[in-house]
Structure 1
Amino acid sequence: MAAAFNGFGQKAIPLLKALDFHQSREWFLENRDLFERELRDPFGDLIETLSERFTAAGLGLRGDRKKSLFRINRDVRFARDKSPYNRHLSAILSPDGTKMEQGVFFVHIGLERCFAGVAWWQPGPSLLLAMRNAVATRPGEFRALMKSLKKNRLELDAEGCMKRAPRGFEHVTEADLAAATRNRHFAVRHEIDPAGIYGPALVDELVDFALRAKPLLDWGRAIEGQVE
């Protein structure tokens, strides 16, 4: 049984600010206990509480504190910015509990913003092609998805959208369908008020968002099931 999520520590965001200021391994090691108590361990509780709630709701998303959390350390091998630590902590819940699947739930707690997402994020070429084909050849299903999301106060994220039609989709001229075929991913987001991360009500907020985003999960899973 997972430990119930009772909120992040009051020093969670100040800790991220201090870590970003120092960007020092020595400073981090001196404050590791505080990082674990205020941020990492509560995040683990949140993941496992959400996993239980998502399972009960039939969302097909799960995770745990060992597999789902991303490291606070940055991968700087090919980056110009060699700062060793991220300005945020994040996690993924997925169909199999790993970070390798598509159709996932994402949580991000950071200095610039806090948000959650449900996404088919940069899917592989075969799945992305299948999704674009679904938009172009079954427009009724796609428009029904858009209607459901709008009813649920959500809309597709336009970040990273191509400026021109991808090859093979130049014939799609209806504005809503043409825009969708230019997507590199299919995702919706929910902004989290940073003031709301310190209490257990965050769980209900995120479960509500995941349920509102379920039409996108269902649409993508139906397409994924047809891709070899």
Structure 2
Amino acid sequence: MNDVIFKGFGEKAMPFLKALDFHQNREWFLENKDIFEAHLYEPLGDLVEDLLARFEKAGLPFRGDRKKSQFRIKRDVRFSKDKSPYNRHLSALLSPDGNKWAESGCFYVCIGHEDYRGCYAAVAWWQQKPELLLAMRKAIVEKPENYRAMVNALKKNGLAMKDTDALKRTPRGFEAVTDPDLIEALRNRNFVVRYPIDPSAITSPKLADDLLDFALRARPLIDWGRAISGTTTS
């Protein structure tokens, strides 16, 4: 088990992201790369390693790597109208097999400029393969008691699911469902719970404690999805 202990992000982490929002050019970034690495990149790597050890001890199915789990600060602008070369946030994703694909149930943490993504963590089933999403929808209809138990467990833990990309209409094949809570669930493309992070708190080592607590409280969502994903063929 890893012995890396997260000590907090650097004091210049948020000022760097705010400045980067204004100075969207390679020259400025290279001149300030040392600040980026010392106050953002390396601390996020420490946070990942610290959380990995905590998650393993707690039996949570999130794996990763301090470098490979981080998303690049440099943007891929090939298919985007926004040609800004750099993101205004830095983030990492942990998943059961350690890759950065969220469809298998994931833990995500983002440290961002508040005018854009902001700072938050999320536990989610995100952009699943069509067969898994269909299996989840069938499970909601065929075993509504399991779905409702999961939702109630999250509520008891102070969490609520919210999909900002939900369908406006009930998906085909489920039109006969009339229960409002099940209709709302069937329209979800993703199943997500979020934890807002106070930007002023990112320099504290306590952030790792708070994120472990959040992940444990979100466990009912991960367990519900894993029970369903185990019934689908890969």
TM-score using structure 1 length:
0.98
Runs of 4+ in structure 1 off by over 6 angstroms are: none
Residue 62 of structure 2 aligns with an amino acid whose one-letter code is: L
Q: How does 1:22-171 map to 2 (within 5 A)?
A: 22-101=23-102, 102-112=104-114, 113-171=118-176
- Looking at structure 1, the residues matched to 195 and 67 of structure 2 have their Cα atoms a distance apart, in angstroms, of 24
Secondary structure at the aligned position of 1:98 is classed as: coil
What's the CA shift for 1:2?
4.3
What's the CA shift for 1:152?
0.3
Residue 182 of structure 2 aligns with an amino acid whose one-letter code is: L
Secondary structure at the aligned position of 2:194 is classed as: strand
1:194 corresponds to which residue? 199
Aligned length: 228
Structure 1 unaligned spans of 5+: none
- Looking at structure 1, the residues matched to 197 and 162 of structure 2 have their Cα atoms a distance apart, in angstroms, of 16
Residues 2, 45 of structure 1: 8 Å contact kept? no
CA RMSD of aligned residues (A): 0.8
Structure 2 unaligned spans of 5+: none
Aligned identity (percent) is: 61
What's the CA shift for 1:60?
1.3
Residue 13 of structure 2 aligns with an amino acid whose one-letter code is: A
1:113-149 CA-to-partner distances (Å, cap 9, x unmatched) read 2100000011110000000111111000001011100
1:51-107 CA-to-partner distances (Å, cap 9, x unmatched) read 000000000112221210000011100111100000100000111111125200000
2:213 corresponds to which residue? 208
Secondary structure at the aligned position of 1:156 is classed as: coil
- Looking at structure 1, the residues matched to 54 and 153 of structure 2 have their Cα atoms a distance apart, in angstroms, of 22
Secondary structure at the aligned position of 2:19 is classed as: helix
Secondary structure at the aligned position of 1:202 is classed as: helix
Secondary structure at the aligned position of 2:109 is classed as: strand
2:222 corresponds to which residue? 217
TM-score using structure 2 length:
0.96
Secondary structure at the aligned position of 1:68 is classed as: coil
- Looking at structure 1, the residues matched to 141 and 46 of structure 2 have their Cα atoms a distance apart, in angstroms, of 42
- Looking at structure 2, the residues matched to 198 and 62 of structure 1 have their Cα atoms a distance apart, in angstroms, of 24
- Looking at structure 1, the residues matched to 151 and 65 of structure 2 have their Cα atoms a distance apart, in angstroms, of 31
- Looking at structure 1, the residues matched to 18 and 50 of structure 2 have their Cα atoms a distance apart, in angstroms, of 27
- Looking at structure 1, the residues matched to 125 and 161 of structure 2 have their Cα atoms a distance apart, in angstroms, of 11
Residue 143 of structure 1 aligns with an amino acid whose one-letter code is: R
Secondary structure at the aligned position of 1:178 is classed as: helix
- Looking at structure 2, the residues matched to 26 and 152 of structure 1 have their Cα atoms a distance apart, in angstroms, of 46
What's the CA shift for 1:183?
0.1
Residue 190 of structure 1 aligns with an amino acid whose one-letter code is: Y
- Looking at structure 1, the residues matched to 48 and 65 of structure 2 have their Cα atoms a distance apart, in angstroms, of 6
